[in-house]
Amino acid sequence: MDSENLRKRANISSSSEISAITSKISSPLKLELLYDGLLYDVTDWVKKHPGGAIINMYAGKGEDATIAIQQFHHRAMDKVERILKCLPRRTPNEDDCKYFSQKISMPQIKVCI
């Protein structure tokens, strides 16, 4: 659909508004994983994850992956921490808190086995 038709259908007047909308539509989906109170961008890591697609159970699903990661990787948490340090991360904002099913401001329980 060309920008003129899009402008008419969406009742948008400026080209900058069109550019803003189309860039959001065409941008790749960002997959984030909540671990220990931080959101990690795992978009590129998903392809490299040694456990395959299992990471998709938590990435972008609105669930806290902390306990699952700690339980599954309890013997290699040092390696997990090194990988996480290399990934882009951010503190969740208010909108993120509405999205996640668990309160993300609560401290997470560390599993020691």
Domain 32-99 matching CATH 3.10.120.10: the answer reads: yes
Domain residue extents for the chain: 1-29, 32-99
DSSP symbol at 102 = S
Can you read off the two tokens belonging to residue 31?
């997959």
Q: One digit per residue, pLDDT tens: the chain, 113 residues?
A: 555 655 555 555 555 555 555 555 545 678 899 999 999 999 998 888 888 888 888 887 778 899 999 999 989 999 999 999 999 999 988 777 776 655 454 444 454 44
pLDDT for res 82: 95
pLDDT at 1: 52
Residue 84 tokens, joined: 């996480």
Written as one string, the DSSP assignment of 18-40 is HHHHHHHHHSPPPPEEEETTEEE
The residue type of 35 is Y
pTM of the model: 0.62
3-10 helix and 15-26 helix, angle to the nearest 10 degrees? 100
